[in-house]
Chains A and B, each alone.
Chain A
C-alpha cells in the first residue's frame, strides 16, 4: 500500500517510515505542512498518517480540512501528542478517520493504518464473511466451521465478526475494545485476552487448524495460513 507520513520529528518519522517499509508498504515522508498538503492533494495514497503539529504554516488540522474541502477522501490517521478528549474530537471532526495519541506502539499504528487503508476499499455491504472453512452469516447471525454450527454469545459473535472483517491484519486489544465494546479507554486488567481465549475455545479448539493467532507485542490476527 502507498502511505503518506506527515511527521516533523526526524526520529519518529524515520522510525515510522522504516517500520511501514518493513511491513511491505510504499512510504512517502513530508516533514512540513506545505509539502504534505501538496503531496496529499496531488498523488494517490491508500492512507495518510498525519501529525497535528506541523511546521510550514499549515498545521495538521488545517491540512486535513483543506483536503476534505477538496473532496479528497483518503483515510487519515491523526497521530498526535494532543491526547485530550476535546483534541481527539477536534481531529475527528476535521475529517480524521482515526486518532492515535503519542507516545504510541508501532504495532498499534501499523494495525490501525492497515485497517484504515483496507476500509477505504470496502466493496459495499457484505452479508457473509468467509475465512478458510469458517463462515459467519451476518443476516442469520450464524457461525459455521467446516459445516459444523458453532454457538456464540452475542459479544463473541461481534468479536469474531471484527476479527474476520480484519482477516489477515493485526488487530490490537485497544482496537477490539473500541470496535467491539465501544470502550475508549484501556482497563487495567487485560480483559480482552480472556474473551479471545474463550472464542478460541469455540472456534479453533475443536478443529485441526487454528485461525486466531496471537501476534506478540501487538494483538491478534485471524488468518488462513499459520506461519
Chain B
C-alpha cells in the first residue's frame, strides 16, 4: 500500500529537480503565477497613472505656459514691434521669481537682442517644434524645453523653461517606481507562494481523504472548515457521494452474503441429487428423473439470480429512462384477471376497487410486476373462503395501491425484515418462493419515489405501495 500511496503523491509534491513542464502542470503553481501576473499588471497600471499625473502633468504645464508666453509676446510684437518686445522680455525676466524662464530674441544675423541666453542653442532650428536641450546660462549648464518662432523682419524668438528641477524630480520618481517594481515583484512572489500553499491546503483535505479511501479506509470523510464556503460545499458534496457509495457497497455486500447463503441450499440439493443418481441409480429412467429434478433445481437457481439482477437493475435507477405516463387502474385489473383463476381454484374471492382512472407516472412493466408480486403473496397466503381486495386511488403525494388479504399476516417482529432479500417469515417457510418478491416491490417503490408499507389489518395483512405519481417527484428515492 505504501508504494501505491507514494505513487499517488508524486504529481502533487513536485520535487525541486522536477522539470518546468511538470511545474506548469501543477494547478497550485498556475494559480500562483496568475496571482503574480495580476499583481504586477495592476502595479504597473498604477505606476503608469502616477507617472502620467506627476511628471506628465509638469510637462504639460510647461508646454502650456510657453504657449501662453508665445501668444502674449506675439501680440506685443504686433503692436509695438521689436523695441516693445525687447522691453517686455526684460520685464518678464526681471519679474521671473523662480528664475526658470528662458527667452532669446535674435536679429537676422543671429545677434542676441534680448533674453538670458548668450547665443542661439545648437539644434533648435525648426519652428513650432519642441526641443529639450542642454543650455548654458550665466556660465551654468542646465536643461531646458524650448520652442522657436520666426517673427516678421527676420527676427527669431526662442521661448523656453528651465527643466533641470523637473528632470531631477522625474529621476526621483523613476527611481521610486523602479524600487516599487522590485517591492511588487517580491510581494508577487510571496503572495504567489501564499496562494499556492492556501490552494494546496484546501486540496490536501480532499486529496488526503481520497488517498485514505484509495488505501481502503472507507470511513474517512473530508473535514468541514465550518465556514460554509465553496470548499465546504465541495467537501459536503464529496462526503455525500462517499456516503452513497458506502451504502451501495453495504448493499452489495449484503447481497453477496445472501447469495452465498441462500443459493447454497438449492445448489447443494441439485448436487446431492446428481451425485446420488450417479452412484446409485439402477435404471436409465431413474437416472433421467434425477437429472430432470436437478435441472428444475438449476432453473430455480437461475430464477433467483434473475430476480436478484432485476432488483439490482431497479435499484441502480437506470430504468428511469423508461418512465412514462400510465394509468394504474388497468394494471390492477389485468393482474386481478391473471390471478382470478388461481384465486378461484383456492376458494379465495378476488376483487378490485377504485376509480376507473388512476393516472401515474413510471415504468409500466415494473409497476405491473410489483402489483403481481403483492397479489401473488396475498393469494398464496390466503386460506380458502377468505377474500383478497386490490385497490388503487390517487392521493396528494401520487398513487396508493393496496392489496389486502385475510391470511395469517406477518408478525410485528418480522414486518421490518420481510422486504430484505431472501428473508422468509416463519409462516412462509413451507410455501414455495424465493424470498425476493417483496424486496423487488420495495425497490420498485423507491425507484418511483414511493414506499412499501405492511399494515396489520387483523385478520390479515394489507400491503400499501405508494408511487409518486408525477414526473417531477418520481425517481428521487
Contact = CB atoms under 8 A, between A and B. Distances in A.
13 contacts: A84-B309, A85-B313, A183-B369, A187-B373, A188-B373, A188-B376, A188-B380, A188-B434, A189-B376, A189-B380, A194-B341, A194-B342, A198-B341
Interface in B420-463: 432-434, 437
Given A181-B338, A194-B341, A189 B379 contact: yes
Nearest to A155: B337
Contacts of A85: 313, 319, 322, 365
Interface residues of A, number: 21
Interface string A186-217: 11110100110010000000000000000001
Interface stretch (B130-138, B145-153, B194-202, B299-307): B299-307
A130 interface: no
Interface string B306-330: 1001100100001100100000000
A83 interface: yes
Given A181-B338, A185-B372, 6 more contacts: A85-B319, A85-B322, A103-B302, A183-B368, A187-B376, A189-B380
B292 A217 contact: yes
Interface in A154-186: 155, 181, 183-186
Contacts of A189: 339, 342, 376, 379-380
Interface residues of B, number: 31
Contacts of B342: 189, 191, 194
Nearest to A181: B338
A217 B291 CA distance: 13
Contacts of B376: 187-189
A186 B365 CA distance: 12
A191 B341 contact: yes
Contact of B338 (A83, A105, A183): A183
Given A83-B309, A191-B338, A191-B339, A183 B372 contact: yes
Contacts of A198: 341
**Is chain B's interface secondary structure helix, strand, loop, or mixed overall?**
helix
A185 B319 CA distance: 15
Sorted from nearest, which 4 A-B pairs have the closest CB atoms? A194-B341, A194-B342, A185-B369, A187-B372
A194 B434 contact: no
Contacts of B368: 183
Contacts of B337: 155
Most buried by B among A103, A155, A181, A185: A185
A132 interface: no
Given A103-B302, A105-B299, A187 B318 contact: no
B229 interface: no
B334 A181 contact: yes
A103 B345 CA distance: 32
Contact of A188 (B298, B319, B345, B432): B432
A22 interface: no
A86 interface: yes
Interface string B370-409: 0011001001100000000000000000000000000000
Most buried by A among B318, B339, B341, B380: B341
A84 B322 CA distance: 13
Contacts of B318: 86
B341 A195 contact: yes
Nearest to B299: A105
A195 B341 CA distance: 6
Given A83-B309, A181-B334, A183-B368, A188 B433 contact: yes
Contacts of B379: 189
Interface string A86-111: 10000000000000010101000000
Most buried by A among B310, B342, B345, B376: B342
